[in-house]
Amino acid sequence: MICSMTGYAAKTREFAGGSLQLELKSVNSRYLDFHFRVAEELRALELPLRELLASRLSRGKIECRLALGAANARSEQPRLNSELLASLRELSRQVRTEIPEALPLSVNEMLRWPGMFGEQSLDPAAVGSEVLALAREVLDEFTASRSREGDKLAALINDRVQAMRAIVARVAPRIPEAQALFTEKLRQRLVDALGNASDERILQEVTVFATRIDVAEELGRLLTHLDEVERVLKQGGACGKRLDFLMQELNREANTLGSKSAVTEVSQAAIELKLLIEQMREQIQNLE
């Protein structure tokens, strides 16, 4: 299975203490980079969440949002915790006595104070198991979404691999004849230029030049790298870094092919190959 680094999933889970909302989304990153936005009451669960996500993900900038909502239904009207309210009022008075310029607590701040509506403490063990159960469900959907996108990217990469093979298959049979014609023209020019030079001298020059423009090795290595790209795609898993390295190798061969070319067909093929390699690199940047 090949995964993209782009994904999204979100779920809500009801439990005795209220409701939990967990959202995961990710974008490209060279490494595994977590950003958590967790409700204050659930802050202690950030580490277990991080460990769970890290066990299933290897690359990407992952944003995790975990929120706690109140229970959907209440049997009675919410009541203020009068003792807590009095304590806050007294603490606010003491602070303002020591620091006159300090602002008093607002109504909104008091209403949002933990425990203001009676006893709302959560059982850490119970809420922890609920959060992790929800996280596993969301993570399953999240990895499935990344896998679907990864399959599409792999198909696009494979299409370009086949296009590169077609270019090599089209050009390779024509190269020996084209290079032979070019070296013959060079031989004739040397004869015309050197005049009385020996045939051995001309043959030596032509042979050296023919060696310089021989691209058989580059084409062979190019096909070998394409074989490896197909193998990595078939193997699956976290393969983005490996494929990116192979793109560098393919690009090196295409550049050498273009620089050594003395034939128009090979020069054009090198340009087409480099374009396909660049397209693959853009897609590979999204792979885990």
For the chain, give the mean pLDDT: 84
Per mean pLDDT, which range of 149-153, 197-201, 213-217, 250-254 is the poorest? 197-201
**Across residues 269-274, what is the average pLDDT?**
93
**Across residues 241-247, what is the average pLDDT?**
95
Joined tokens for residue 106: 């607002």
pTM: 0.70
Phi-psi domain of 9 (left: phi exceeds 0; alpha: psi -120 through 50; beta: other): beta
Contacts 24+ apart (CB under 8 A), 155-160: 156/283, 157/229, 157/233, 157/243, 157/280, 157/283, 157/284, 158/230, 158/233, 160/276, 160/279, 160/280
pLDDT of residue 282: 93
CB atoms within 10 A of CB 235: 10
Q: Edge-to-edge, what's the strand order for the sheet holding 32-38?
A: 7-15, 18-27, 60-69, 32-38
**Across residues 105-116, what is the average pLDDT?**
80
**Across residues 111-133, what is the average pLDDT?**
75
CB atoms within 10 A of CB 135: 23
Asked if residue 73 has pLDDT above 60, the reply is no
What stretches of 117-259 adopt beta strand conformation (E)? none
**Across residues 42-52, what is the average pLDDT?**
92
- 89 versus 212: which is more confidently predicted? 89
What percentage of residues in the chain have a pLDDT greater than 90?
49
| Element counts in the chain: helices (H) and strands (E) | 9, 4
Q: Shortest CA distance to 134 belongs to which of 49, 44, 54, 62? A: 49
Dihedral (CA of 238, 241, 244, 245) sign: negative
Asked if residue 77 has pLDDT above 50, the reply is yes
Each residue of 216-226: pLDDT tens digit? 788 899 999 99
